[in-house]
Structure formats: structure tokens, C-alpha cells
Chain A
Amino acid sequence: MSERVREVMEYDVVVVGGGPAGLSASIRLKQVSPGASVCLVEKGSEIGAHILSGAVIEPRALDELIPDWRERGAPLDTAATDDRMIYLTAKRAVRVPLLDTVMPHMGNHGNFIVSLGDVCRWLAGQAEALGVEIYPGFGAAELLEEDGRIVGVATGDMGVTRSGEPGPGYAPGMELRAAYTLFAEGCRGSLSKRVMARFGLRAGVDPQTYGLGVKELWEVPAAQHRPGLVQHTFGWPLDHRTYGGSWMYHFGENLVSYGFVVGLDYPNTWLSPFDEMQRLKLHPAIRPHLEGGRRISYGARALSEGGLQSIPRLTFPGGALIGDAAGFLNVPKIKGTHAAMKSGMLAAEAVAEALADGRPAEPASFTARVRASWLWQELRGVRNIRPAFAKYGTIVGAAYSGLDAMLLRGRAPWTLRHRHPDHAVLDSAAASTPIDYPKPDGRLTFDKSSSVFLSNTNHAEDQPVHLVLRDPARWRAVNWDRFRSPESRYCPAGVYEVVGADGVGEAVGADAVSGPRLQINAQNCVHCKTCDIKDPTENIDWAAPEGGGGPNYIGGM
């Protein structure tokens, strides 16, 4: 039973990740090259289980991919009809007037409010009908390389015990070999990261920057449901040095998607994105929407905020990066779905061409196709907005973005740069102002553990911990002594817990005398990837756990 020999399957194309990018790439590939064999693996227990998004989506790419999506029953049921952008102070809300003129990049006419998980479930059905083989429950854990070319991936072993030995149910991973492998892992993909390092794909581009989105799904009384309402806020409760804001979308059957994005270049080590999201619900701009309803789901996910300046080289020998794994996202809009889909489609076209043309090492025409597409134009147009916020703060940043949009239409002759990776931006505990978050009331505001409960997160218990400190000793010297454990605040799932400090938690055995210690509750991880991004010395390595583990986001999420 426990022989470690891995079985091998050969395909023309292997796609890693079943989000909008990976699914669109598979569909496009089968459309233009029906004979190609395509295999897609997804680490979530099913397609959609790990998809967390807003989401107001632009149907542009979908129109191109599946023009008759309406007839085919795509779950885009709520049109965005009422669009509001609000600036908040602690007590007040000021609506940005003439939104379509001042911030045309924020307008939502013609867009739809959806559950992106449900859209992906639907896309997966379309892909399967075209003959794409989809295998949820299997994470790609390893790159396969031969003669300097990526020749596929291997899925992780199943049934390995915590100590790393094969357990009674051991099943070795499988090698999925392909002429081309498309990495569609979404933001901060664990293998995408390795591919970029292996082939130096980030040379000469700005560091990628990120945001963390923390989301709740509510079911509200019908009388207060305004289907089609799209509301964004900025300002309070964040200070001017911190980028971020909330979204609230009314859609479906009495559902409200509410959430908060914080730029991970936030400087205050005491900041907790989760608690910012919670306390904002007490503001009059949010409260009346949710009060009296019930919260039915919770989750979190990082997104790329670097934009055009941070997009790496897209192809390498044996494949390409697509979607948010490459950083295709319209940052000021926080819209990446159409970008993910379009980049996947363009990559598929490049791959189909390469398959038909002697299978050269790189599907090289992908880059040119991207540069010639509306996607590139769109990302060029908004490239300076996010860095302006980082450079000038919220108020001037917002003014700049209005100016940039109205006067220059994004055609400014300069490009603002991202200077620092997010992990390098954090002030010490001594230099940061502590934040006093209100206690959860259990009705409108909640704590982390009751929240994670609603994400239906599960990992097989007896398996190696998938979050590893590269140098465990550094935690005490850096994370604790200097920053007072920022991970215990930014992790939206309560995975990181300090025990043994100032009577917090309890230390056992030998630790009783050795002071604070980091406890990693890896089974709670919702796969948002923030720790992999924000740890001050990049000491935390997020690796794909046993397939099928992680959140199980419900329909509507």
C-alpha cells in the first residue's frame, strides 16, 4: 500500500487552480483546439470552495468567452444599478458626487453582482462539457522540471502523518505532465512564487504589493434588501497612511456581501484587518444594512495591488502565469475577475498556437497578445492610482486619482512606482499607536473563532503543518520583541496565537519558563496567503496542505 512510486499522466496542458483564470483558459483552449487534452487541478474540495471575492464583475471577458452565457444560465442575476462611493469620518458619511465623472474607473454600469464561487462552479460545468478534466481536492505541490523546462506538476501525497511518515491511508501524489503548464493559483500562488524565483521572472519589475480582503455574507430581512446596490467606503476607520475601504453589495435572494480591504503596506503593527472590518459595521453608513439580518458565511483572501508596474515576465520554458497569480487586477476598481478571465483566454490562444507549431519551450506570443489587448490598455490607464495613495495618503491620493482620471484619462506621462514590498513596511510596536477595538456584541460584530466556524474550514488532522517558520528562533527576536506578533492580528483566521506572554494563553512544560511562544493553529487556515506576504522577514512559508483541506465556502459566497 505504501510504496512511494508516483503514477504519471500525460496531457497537452495542465492548469493549476480552478478560479476564473484557470477555468477560462481551459475553456478557451478547448474552443480553439478541441483535440488538446486539458487537466485542471484545484486544491479546494470542490470548484468554488476556495473562491473568495466581492464581487461586482464586468462581463466583458465572459461576453467574449461564452457569448450566450445568459441562455446557458450563468449565475449573473443581479445587475449593479445604484452606485455609491462614500468618504467616512468617525461619525459622518460624505457621498462623492457625480461619481461617473470624478471617478469614471469606479463606475459600475453594465456590471453584475455575483457570487464568484457560484460563477466558477458554472464555468467548471461549461469546461467539463467541452472535455476538460477537472480534479478538485488535489493541490499541486511540486514543480516538475526537466532540462530547464517545467514539464508539469505533482500533486501532494495524501495520508502523510504529522511527523512526515506515510500513515495507514497513504496515497502518493501523482505526476501530471504536460507540454505547457498554466499557473492560475490566484494571488500569491505557492508554485507561482517558485516559478518566478526559478526563472527570474520578476527581474526589472516593481515588487508586487497586496491587500487583504475580509468578507462576510449576510442574509437580511427582505424589507431592507436593495438588490443592485453597490456601495464603497473609504476613510474611517483607517488613518491616512493606510489604504483600504469597505464594499457592500446587495444581490441574490436577500443576500448582502460586506467586506473590507486593507493594503498590506499598512505601517501600524497593532492594526487588525479583521477588527477594522468588524468595527466599521457599527458606523451609520453600514449598520442599517445589516442590522436584523444573520451572518451566514465568512472568509478572507489576499489580492494583488501592484497593477501594471508589478506584472512579471509572463512566460517561461514550459508555461505561463495567468490571472491574479501574475497580478492581473484593476486595482482602484478592485476588479480582477474580467482580467483573470481575459489573461487566461489569451494564454490559451498562445498555447494552442504553440501546440500546433512544434511545441517550442515558451508559449511566447502570450505577452504580445496581452499587450495588444484591451486588458493592457485598461491596466495602463489606472496604473498610477494605487501608488498615489501609498505616496500621498488617502485624501491627496483620492484627489490625485480624480485628477488623473478626469484630466489625464490615465495617460499621464509618468508612472508612479512601488518602492517597497509590503513586508518591509511595518513600524515597531513602540513606534505604532495601539488601537482599541470594541468588543464583539455577537449580533452585528463577532470574534475570529465564531467567524472561522462559518467558513467551514477543515484540514485532515494528522498531516504535516503547512505553515512553517523558516527560522523559528527569529520569531522571538523579531516578531515578538520588535513588533509584538503582528501575525496574531493580521491573520483573519486566528491561526497565530501567542501563548505564555503576560498571562495570555498558557504555556506548557518547558515553555512555562521561556516566555512568549508562537502557537500555529494551522487547521484554521482559510488560505488567504497574508502571512506569506506580510511577515516582516518573510519567515513564514505557506505551502499547499493536503488536497481538499481549507475553507468550504458555501454557495452565495
Chain B
Amino acid sequence: MKLLVPVKRVLDYNVKPRVRADGTGVDLAGSKMSMNPFDEIAVEEAVRLRERGVATEIVVVSIGVQQCQETLRTALAMGADRAILVLTEAAPEPLAVAKLLRALVLREGPRLVVLGKQAIDDDMNATGQMLAGLLGWAQATFASRVEVAAEADGGTATVTREVDGGLETIAVALPAIVTVDLRLNEPRYASLPNIMKARKKPMETLSLGDLGVDVTPRLTTLRVSEPPVRKGGVTVGSVAELVSKLRSEARVI
């Protein structure tokens, strides 16, 4: 069974985002970029499924600029078999990404697509769901545990989901979409020997035209601003003072 895992190149989680002075977006020039952490978890899960003998091939795909090749190489070093870069200077919105992924699913024929539940840059949390809708496949989102029983041309994925107030376990018929949550696994390091070997794994580059998808934006960004600066705390001298401040200044009691 083949797996498809999309990975996104985002501003590294260690780097504090800085909004451009003109409010049009976050300044990324020269800043460290890396794989969206949720996508690392998706790659790790795919590799574990192959290690358990459930999957036979893992194809990773990234949509974006040439440097997304680095992100793909990391996925290959973690254990994916093959990579596809869909090259574009545009930053496609979730719906366009979902359409591109649908085209790739039709081309590659995976029976399971494993995605991060969201990307840490725009926090959209939409691509997996939209892809399921476009394909008419079952979906299991926010996975914290995944079991797959594949059969010749069917099978099920049993997925434990993190929902408000607890865990929910559902079974979905394959082919299916799974989006993964933080606690699913602890992704492995891309070790140096594996990074070296990954240089020899196949990487294919496609254009938007190859997939016949229109990525014209449908959303308009009006303004990007930084969160308001938090005011410094104060030290209170006594419980009585605390209570009075909570009452008169914070107005929470």
C-alpha cells in the first residue's frame, strides 16, 4: 500500500515571527525555515506504518519554492522513499493545495494520505478536510493513535482522535485521509548518514501546469499585525491587595 505525505516548509518554530513594517505579512528573508512540526509527525507515522509492514512505499510532496527541496530531503532522510516538488512562487491557499493534492492522489494512487492537522504558520487546519471532501474519501482528523488494517483493495484505519474532553476512537474505510496531532509520536532525527543517503533518493519536480490546477487566491489579506505587547506583571504585597486589584483593576471578581 502506498502512502502520500504532504509536507510544508514554514518558518522554524524557534524563530520569532516578525511582521513587516508595512503590515503585509511576516518577514521571512534569510530566516531559518523547516518542516512544519505536525508534518514531521505525519512522516514519522508513515515510516512506522512501513516498518510495521502496513505500507510499502511513502511518497512525500511539497508545494512551494525551490528550497522546499530541503524540506523534502529531510522527509527522505527520515525514511520516505520518493519526493515530489510542485514548484510555485505563489503561496497557495488551502483549497488550492487540496486541489493540487487531489491531482497527485489521482496520479500516484495512494490509499492513505497522512497530513499534519495544520501548519504552524497560518494555522488554517483545513487542507486535510478539503482534500477528503474533494476526493469523497473518509477522514479522521487530530489523530493521536493510528492502526491500519490494509486488505487487497480495502481495509480500515482505526484512529483515536483528540477531542474536547477526551479521546474518541473511530474506524474509517480506506482509502482515507488522516490528519495527525501532536501526541501521536515523537519524530526521529534525520541522522547524518540518512541525510547523505537521502541525496540519492529520487526527487521529481512538477509545475502547476503539469497538474492543471488554478491557484489564483480567493482570499485577501487585509492586514497582518503583531499581538499586543503584554503588560509587565506587578508584585502585590498581600492577599488583601491582590483581591482588591482583581476586583477594581482587573474586574474579574
Contact = CB atoms under 8 A, between A and B. Distances in A.
A121 B21 CA distance: 24
Contacts of B32: 45-46, 49, 456, 552, 554
| Residue of A169, A458, A554 contacting most chain B CB atoms (<10 Å) | A554
A146 interface: no
B15 A552 contact: yes
How many of chain B's residues touch chain A, expressed as a range? Answer: 20 to 34
B247 interface: no
A121 B15 contact: no
A254 interface: yes
Given A456-B14, A552-B14, A171 B189 contact: yes
Given A45-B12, A135-B195, A169 B189 contact: yes
A456 B191 contact: no
Contacts of A174: 191-193
A168 B192 CA distance: 17
A296 interface: yes
B193 A159 contact: no
Contacts of A254: 21
A174 B192 CA distance: 7
B47 to A, nearest CB: 13
A9 B196 contact: yes
Contacts of A138: 192
Nearest to B29: A555
Interface string A463-495: 000000000000000000000000000000000
A555 B30 contact: yes
Contact of A118 (B14, B18, B30, B186): B30
B107 interface: no
A219 interface: yes
B30 A296 contact: no
Interface string B171-189: 0000000000000001011
Nearest to A176: B192
Contacts of B192: 7, 135, 138, 155, 173-174
Contacts of A171: 188-189, 191
B87 to A, nearest CB: 17
Contacts of B14: 45, 456-458, 552
A121 B67 CA distance: 13
Interface string A383-395: 0000000000000
A184 B34 CA distance: 26
Contacts of B52: none
Contacts of B12: 45, 456, 552
Contacts of B31: 552, 554-555
Contact of B30 (A7, A457, A554): A554
Nearest to A551: B14
Contacts of A106: none
Nearest to B28: A555
A159 B12 CA distance: 20
B251 interface: no
A449 to B, nearest CB: 13
B218 interface: no
B30 A169 contact: no
Contacts of A516: none
Interface in A410-468: 453-454, 456-458
B16 interface: yes
Interface string A290-310: 000000100000000000000
A518 B15 CA distance: 29
A254 B32 CA distance: 21
Nearest to B70: A46
A89 B197 CA distance: 60
Contacts of A121: 30
B139 to A, nearest CB: 30
Nearest to A252: B29
A171 B193 CA distance: 10
Interface string B14-26: 1110100100000
B177 to A, nearest CB: 27
Contact of A169 (B15, B186, B195): B186
B20 to A, nearest CB: 10
A249 to B, nearest CB: 17
Contacts of B189: 158-159, 169, 171
Nearest to A172: B191
Contact of B16 (A48, A135, A173, A453): A453
Nearest to B30: A555
Contacts of B186: 168-169
A48 B15 contact: no
A468 to B, nearest CB: 24
A115 B21 contact: no
Nearest to B196: A9
B239 to A, nearest CB: 21
Contacts of B196: 9, 133, 135
A332 B22 CA distance: 39
B186 to A, nearest CB: 6
A319 interface: no
A117 interface: yes
B102 to A, nearest CB: 33
Interface string A129-168: 0000101001000000000000000010011000000001
Contacts of B21: 219, 254
Contacts of A244: none
Interface in B90-113: none
A545 to B, nearest CB: 14
A296 B193 CA distance: 36
A2 to B, nearest CB: 12
Contacts of A133: 196, 199
A220 to B, nearest CB: 10
A132 to B, nearest CB: 13
A556 interface: yes
A46 B30 CA distance: 10
Contacts of A173: 192
A556 B21 CA distance: 15
Nearest to A457: B14
Please give me the 8 A-B residue pairs with the lowest Cβ-Cβ distance, nearest first. A555-B30, A171-B191, A7-B193, A458-B14, A174-B192, A555-B29, A158-B189, A456-B15
23 contacts: A7-B193, A45-B14, A46-B32, A117-B30, A135-B192, A135-B195, A158-B191, A169-B186, A169-B189, A171-B188, A174-B192, A219-B21, A296-B18, A453-B16, A456-B14, A456-B32, A457-B14, A552-B14, A552-B15, A554-B15, A554-B31, A554-B32, A556-B30
Interface of B: 12, 14-16, 18, 21, 29-32, 34, 186, 188-189, 191-193, 195-196, 199
Given A171-B189, A173-B192, 11 more contacts: A45-B34, A48-B30, A115-B30, A118-B30, A133-B199, A158-B189, A174-B191, A174-B193, A456-B12, A552-B12, A552-B15
Interface of A: 7, 9, 45-46, 48-49, 115, 117-118, 121, 133, 135, 138, 155, 158-159, 168-169, 171-174, 219, 254, 296, 453-454, 456-458, 552, 554-557
